[in-house]
């Protein structure tokens, strides 16, 4: 005989910028809400305050979220009755996010994480690769390469009109910075 099966697992939505990660996360949140599941969504806070925020996609969809300063605030922000935990921009959290997602999934919650799997150099980004390894379900999305129209897995960082260098600081005061979707072949990193 079988045990009664239990709920709880991890889903990861990854890809480069503009690949539709937030769009897909919001779609899953909406569908869970239609199913009358209790959803709690989080994103990393840009500043130091704790506040209500929204997950927003580049094509204008939004979902309510709480902005948190670190991964342990997610654990604190999930109620026992929460069914679904959604986390956007998961690459910005500390490695501790992995254990927290595992714990929530073990408790029976459906955990959906969305985030960049590669940084602007094309290297694995923060905790996302670790989450991909422990997730039950993985969705890797492609954007459209702005150079050739092919499937874009990478994010091109451009500073003052030229490709960013490998060792370029993440924050540069006074520099104009942009990001573009590019495929492997059109992606450039200055040495």
**Positions in 104-163 near Zn ion (CB under 5 A):** 145, 147-148, 150
The reply to whether 86 sits near ligand ADP by the rule CB under 6 A is no
Pick the closest to residue 90 from 119, 112, 114, 54 (CA basis): 114
Q: From the candidates 53, 89, 99, 188, give the one annotated as an active-site residue.
A: 89
If the CB atoms of residues 75 and 146 are measured against ligand ADP, the closer one turns out to be: 146
Q: Which listed option, ligand ADP, Zn ion, none, makes contact with residue 186 (CB within 5 to 8 Å by class)?
A: Zn ion
| Least distance CB 128 / ligand ADP (angstroms) | 12
When asked if residue 21 is in the footprint of ligand ADP (CB under 6 A), the reply is yes
Min separation Cβ 27 and ligand ADP, Å: 9
In the window 121-160, what residues touch ligand ADP (CB under 6 A)? Answer: 143-144, 146
Question: Is-contact 83 32, C-beta < 8 A?
Answer: yes
Beta-carbon count within 10 A of 165 CB: 13
Task: Tell me whether residue 89 is one of the annotated catalytic residues.
Answer: yes
Q: Which does 28 bind (CB under 5 to 8 A by kind): Zn ion, ligand ADP, none?
A: none
Q: For the sheet with 9-15, list strands across it.
A: 51-56, 62-68, 39-44, 84-87, 110-116, 9-15, 137-141
Interacting span for ligand ADP (CB under 6 A) from 1-9, 12-20, 32-40, 158-166: 12-20
Helix (H, G, I), strand (E, B) or coil at 171: coil
Q: What one-character-per-residue DSSP string does 19-58 give?
A: SSHHHHHHHHHHHHHHTT--EEEEEE-SSS--EEEEEE-T
How many residues are present in the chain? 191
* Binding test (CB under 6 A) with ligand ADP, winner from 10, 11, 12, 23: 23
Q: How far apart are CA 45 and CA 47, in angstroms?
A: 5
Query: Interface residues with ligand ADP (CB under 6 A)?
Result: 15, 17-23, 57-59, 143-144, 146, 181
């Amino acid at each position: 005989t079988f045990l009664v099966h239990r709920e709880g697992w991890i889903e990861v939505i990854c890809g480069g910028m503009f690949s539709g990660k937030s769009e897909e996360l919001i779609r899953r949140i909406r569908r869970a809400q239609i199913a009358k599941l209790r959803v709690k969504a989080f994103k990393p806070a840009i500043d130091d305050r704790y506040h209500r925020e929204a997950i927003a996609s580049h094509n204008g969809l939004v979902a309510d979220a709480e902005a948190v300063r670190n991964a342990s605030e997610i654990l604190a922000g999930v109620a026992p009755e929460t069914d679904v935990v959604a986390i956007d921009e998961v690459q910005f959290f500390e490695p501790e996010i992995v254990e927290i997602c595992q714990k929530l999934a073990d408790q029976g919650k459906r955990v959906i994480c969305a985030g960049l799997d590669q940084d602007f150099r094309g290297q694995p980004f923060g905790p996302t690769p670790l989450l991909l390894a422990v997730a039950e379900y993985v969705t890797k999305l492609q954007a459209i390469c702005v150079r050739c129209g092919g499937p874009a897995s990478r994010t091109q960082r451009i500073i003052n009109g030229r490709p960013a260098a490998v060792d370029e600081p993440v924050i540069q005061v006074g520099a104009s910075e942009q990001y573009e979707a590019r495929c492997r072949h059109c992606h450039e990193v200055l040495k």
